[in-house]
Amino acid sequence: MRSFGYARAGSLAEAIAARAAGATPIAGGTNLIDLMKLDVARPDRLLDLNGLDLRGIEIGPEGARIGALVSNADLAAHQQIAARYPLLASALLAGATGQLRNAATTGGNLMQRTRCYYFNEADTPCNKRSPGAGCVAIGGVTRIHAILGASEHCIAVHPSDMCVALAALDAQVIAEGPAGERAIPASAFHRLPGDTPERDNTLGDDEIITAVTLPAEGFADHYSYLKLRDRLSYAFALVSVAAALRIEDGRIAEARLALGGVAHKPWRDQEAEAALIGREPTRAAFADAAAIVLAPARAQGSGPEGNAFKIDLARRAIIRAFDQAARRTPQSQTHKQVA
């Protein structure tokens, strides 16, 4: 870790000005400080957002607005969020640990960086760290890498659980910069690596996330967040599935499907969702949806060090998560046995 300057933002305007001048925001610090210790992040100046008034949760008939500094723990425990948007609460609880969720914030979770092993090895070639250097992950240990949307320049995945639920729920990320406020659909917030993997998302370099908003529909009746990982808690997803259904008269009226751990962004597939409309909520229907989502999937290496298994695992997980949602037996995040 290298020396850095530190300032606490007194107001949003001050924060935006400092950010535009090159300061790096810090919220919970659970990701940024780790990366600084590994010499992966080398900010000159830290801009501490914690003095800003971005900790509110407002919830009404038309939806919810969650301040960027609301902690992952507070958000998951918020009674109305848990009641109206249980998919989000469940995804939050599937992430990290109690201690981390106490410190981690909504904005920081959106902005967290990949867990690609090599990204964290500051002395290896990585396009995300140093554009043009190459991607050492390709041909290496790729168990936790992408099966969808990867490019020859980067095969990393976005590791968040929360963001998978946000994508499924059609949330919006509210950003504010010198040009004012704008709303970015959650599923368009993160991006695919293409030939610019150094950019994780579409937030401007001069913008700050102030809030996340949720539409009225929370799919509280039929949802499940199913996370598969290498131990039952405190591990990033190998594959996770946010599944939500609206069922009318025994048929699917609306479906949402987003995957985590498989791509550089939460992977939402509207074609697969559309294919479910009008069908009965059967495993066969869900398998068809899974086939559509995974048709473009490509493996990076086989065996336990590769990720070929994730394609089949994702298929099985999609079917199960939808099945859990349909039966109203959402995956419990406290009893880890998969239902």
Ligand X SMILES: Cc1cc2nc3c(=O)[nH]c(=O)nc-3n(C[C@H](O)[C@H](O)[C@H](O)COP(=O)(O)OP(=O)(O)OC[C@H]3O[C@@H](n4cnc5c(N)ncnc54)[C@H](O)[C@@H]3O)c2cc1C
CB of 101 to ligand X, least distance (A): 7
d(CA 29, CA 228): 26
Q: Residue type at 187?
A: S
Among 31, 71, 114, 324, binds ligand SF4 (CB under 6 A): 114
Buried b (16+ CB within 10 A) or exposed e, 147-184: bbbbbebbbbbbbbbbbbbbbbbbbbbbbbbeeeeeeb
At 235 the three-state DSSP class reads: coil
Structure-token pair, residue 137: 């992950």
Identify what 109 binds: other proteins, ligand SF4, ligand X, none; CB under 5 to 8 Å per kind. ligand X
Distances in whole angstroms, Cα of residue 127 to Cα of each of 132, 152, 188, 265? 6, 10, 22, 17
Report residue 9: phi and psi, to 5°. -75, 130
Among 18, 49, 75, 155, binds ligand SF4 (CB under 6 A): 155
Q: Starting from the edge strand earliest in sequence, which strands make up the sheet with 223-228, in order?
A: 223-228, 239-248, 251-260, 267-268
CB of 135 to ligand SF4, least distance (A): 3
Among 133, 216, 232, 253, binds other proteins (CB under 8 A): 232
Is 15 a binder of ligand X (CB under 6 A)? no
When the beta carbons of 23 and 326 are compared against ligand X, the nearer one is 23
Listed residue (251, 248, 259, 192) closest to 225, CA to CA: 259
Among 233, 246, 254, 287, binds other proteins (CB under 8 A): 233
Identify what 140 binds: ligand SF4, other proteins, ligand X, none; CB under 5 to 8 Å per kind. other proteins
Is 152 a binder of other proteins (CB under 8 A)? no
CB of 126 to ligand SF4, least distance (A): 3
Per the document, the length of the chain is 339
**Interacting residues with other proteins (CB under 8 A):** 1-3, 37-39, 97, 115, 117-118, 120-121, 123-124, 136, 139-141, 143-144, 228, 230-236, 238, 304-305, 309-310, 312-313, 316-317, 319-320, 336-339
What residues line the site for ligand X (CB under 6 A)?
24-32, 34, 49, 68, 72, 95-96, 100, 103-105, 107-109, 111-112, 159-162, 208-209, 236
